[in-house]
A and B are shown apart, each in its own frame.
Chain A
């Protein structure tokens, strides 16, 4: 069994290494005709760009993606700089007509997106030619290796029950060097995915056939990411099934997040795209889905006929009615740990790291500041966007619509939710984004704290303050602080994962939905001690 496990680990590392190394392979170049077709397709008017790109990437040399990227971005910058100088010059001359003419030559968008698009068209090499084999050598080996590593636990872990042996003694789960290595890998992965998509264009070639089959188009880096996301959740979901096989709540919850990720977040949007509809994740609610009210999205939905209007209405109803009503009845767990994709990844890939969340009072303070700031930020951004959309202006309250959208997308969308949110799993616990950043979680938190039937009931005086509940709370809630006082846990941040209840050795905690009355029950003296409480209260 141990042998299978170790072999699995080696195979997994090989798969991961091939996957990582694959970005260095292949060569990228275009013919003059291909380049011109591309430029006219994009409607670029800049002569400089055309000239620079011809010089740079119309070649018979073998250039790899990094050289290719730097050449394309240099051409992009050269062109834009040239016209910026022109603009300034005509500005100084007060030649307004000429000045405004120059703007037509400027290229908008990000240099690495241009580089990505060109690379996607111009890539050649082993991966492009052998996507099936490449898939096997990367994803295939990764999946086989991971499963060989995980499945023997069915026997190795022994009888079913809580098996957390060694978690705080192993490098990978106790912030050791392995954990740091994983952090660096994940952070780099997200940085590249968000800011240097051209570097990983080779990965998209692996998925062109699958993407073609599903939606009729070639794969983008987001298709790769979506597929990877589902794969990781499934494989690590298998780990959850084994680890918590005695706990039906965990089994059903894991099944639920897997279903919503694969069907709602991945398959349905792909199929919708293939049917010429806007690809939409029906479970993703604003403000987590922060660009729902962006002009381009509203326009695209308005122009998509009946389904577009349905999505528009559904999105609004989801956020304003369905989400809060469900939180009233079941707590925010119905979303955060049963449906949400971010939560889904945290509960599968992130489960081995849940104990690393910070439990100090300080971090709770930081959490409240941060998460509510992000909520306020997202609402302000949306208000500005919508005002500008309906009034046709560029700014509101002195805030430029484009600026605030870009800033939010960059800071929150990419850095917080991606790079930090997932990248920091191994060191700061698996719910960094959900706890400190997610504006939807903040909104659901208000409902859960002030108007909900959900609570974690503390079982009278049974708590022995051992601290397993607190240790394994991914949201950094000091569960024990409530349990040892005999108080129910009603906290806005609780996502109802149910692990505190699972790890409790004395059967003290139960997640349940019941009458609001008596949900919050501060106690002076715990059940079992028959001090005359009335005389105590009267004295005060």
Chain B
């Protein structure tokens, strides 16, 4: 029986294992150095905040793996011998495979800051990071202040975690407005304001110079690059993005760049060795996507795809239209298609924007200035239907069409106040058009693309 070994039990590796099991009776072993059982990394924050217990982050009960004959092996892979098709572990034990899937995910970026490896300095990615945070920041008495470095999605989540225990947070962000390399100014401004509203000490245009420690090597303060200001703190969160977790592969014959290089079938330069999820790097970008995508659902999709290939149905990795979502404290965010920030958008791309006068709600629709083709939407505080936008993107609909049928796309809970009328009115006023908003139609919603 063919033996499939998967290194990494995150969403990519586990999805691959599940789909291989669905489609075959191959022997499957999943190796992990982090935890025995699969858990949802995105939920770690909720454990610290007390919304959940760790067990709630595990999507499958513990008997699931035995029942589905998926072997779980705890261990840290030191070396991959591709010639012998053999893995060697830290404890010198070995495991041979017929096909290997590398799904080792990411690790937090460290940019060579002085003091970046001190006690009390941590990322927020692994289960061990959570344990570390629980140790150094159990409450506001032990941790009098925390400093977070890097204004991305993990940074704001870490800030939310800490303030849930009333720990004062200073948030260092390199940009002049929160996440404005990705978000249009309107939205970046709204989120920045919201962060301040939660009493987080947000420092824009600010970089970290160094982290200082006491004689025991424990964090005591940080120094700001621009002003030289020293901020006392007990915890430093490094959340300036992530990078593929592939150090142990560098010694093997598997070709790597920033990540493990793969072709469109997610296979590496070595036959029978695949890489999926955060650690995989496409040789050429697919559409406007980045070559490395550290996103939950792309890990899942690569797992789904590689399982097909391994089960003798060679399948190209074809991620569809870009989408994503996040939550910034109390503000939900979804995006479908491409909306780039002012910094990154091309000349042909232009925005239509609407913002609620009082509440934290706004949208940005990006469209082609010449053809009026709809390119993408960012929506804050309003939920929208993935299926509907996916269909519109596939059909190359115009912005006028999207606005006319915007009611079909609303996904807010029942009885919520709808804003489509105001949105369309604003577009009509700005563009001298007379689009009439159509009523929501189930028939249209359910018509497949």
Q: Which residues from chain A sit less than 8 Å from chain B, CB to CB?
A: 158-162, 164-170, 246-249, 252, 360-361, 457, 459-462, 464-468, 470-471, 480-481, 484, 498, 501-503, 505-507, 510-512, 514-515, 517-518, 525-532, 535-536, 539
Contacts and interface: CB of A to CB of B under 8 A. Distances in A.
Interface string B406-427: 0000011111110000000000
Most chain B C-beta atoms within 10 Å of own C-beta, residue among A465, A470, A503, A526: A465
A240 B330 CA distance: 18
6 interchain residue pairs of minimum CB distance: A460-B386, A161-B330, A507-B383, A466-B43, A529-B301, A166-B50
Nearest to A249: B413
Q: Indicate the size class of the contact surface on chain B.
A: 35 or more
Contact of A165 (B164, B325, B415): B164
B387 A527 contact: yes
15 contacts: A164-B49, A164-B50, A165-B49, A248-B414, A460-B387, A461-B301, A465-B59, A466-B43, A468-B46, A481-B59, A498-B413, A505-B327, A506-B326, A507-B332, A528-B320
Contact of B53 (A161, A168, A461, A498): A168
A504 to B, nearest CB: 9
A539 B333 CA distance: 39
Nearest to B413: A249
B434 interface: no
A505 B324 CA distance: 12
Given A507-B325, A539-B313, A501 B413 contact: yes
- Chief secondary structure at chain A's binding surface: loop
Given A247-B413, A248-B417, A465-B40, A164 B51 contact: yes
Contact of A461 (B386, B415, B445): B386
Interface in B205-221: none
A528 B449 CA distance: 13
A23 to B, nearest CB: 37
A528 B301 contact: yes
Interface string B165-195: 0000000000000000000000000000000
Nearest to A159: B330
A462 B51 contact: no
Interface string B271-314: 00000000000000000000000001100110011001000010
Nearest to A160: B330
A539 B325 CA distance: 34
A14 to B, nearest CB: 29
Contacts of A503: 51
A328 to B, nearest CB: 16
Contacts of B411: 457, 459, 507, 510
Contact of A528 (B47, B49, B319, B326): B319
A160 B330 CA distance: 8
A362 to B, nearest CB: 9
B40 A464 contact: yes
Contacts of A165: 49-51, 164
Contacts of A530: 318-320
B95 interface: no
Interface string B35-72: 00000101100110111110011110100000000000
A502 B56 contact: no
A536 B442 contact: no
B43 A468 contact: yes
B40 A529 contact: no
B3 interface: no
A360 B60 CA distance: 9
B40 A527 contact: no
A25 to B, nearest CB: 42
A459 B46 contact: no
A67 B11 CA distance: 66
B323 interface: yes
Contacts of B164: 165-166
A159 B53 CA distance: 24
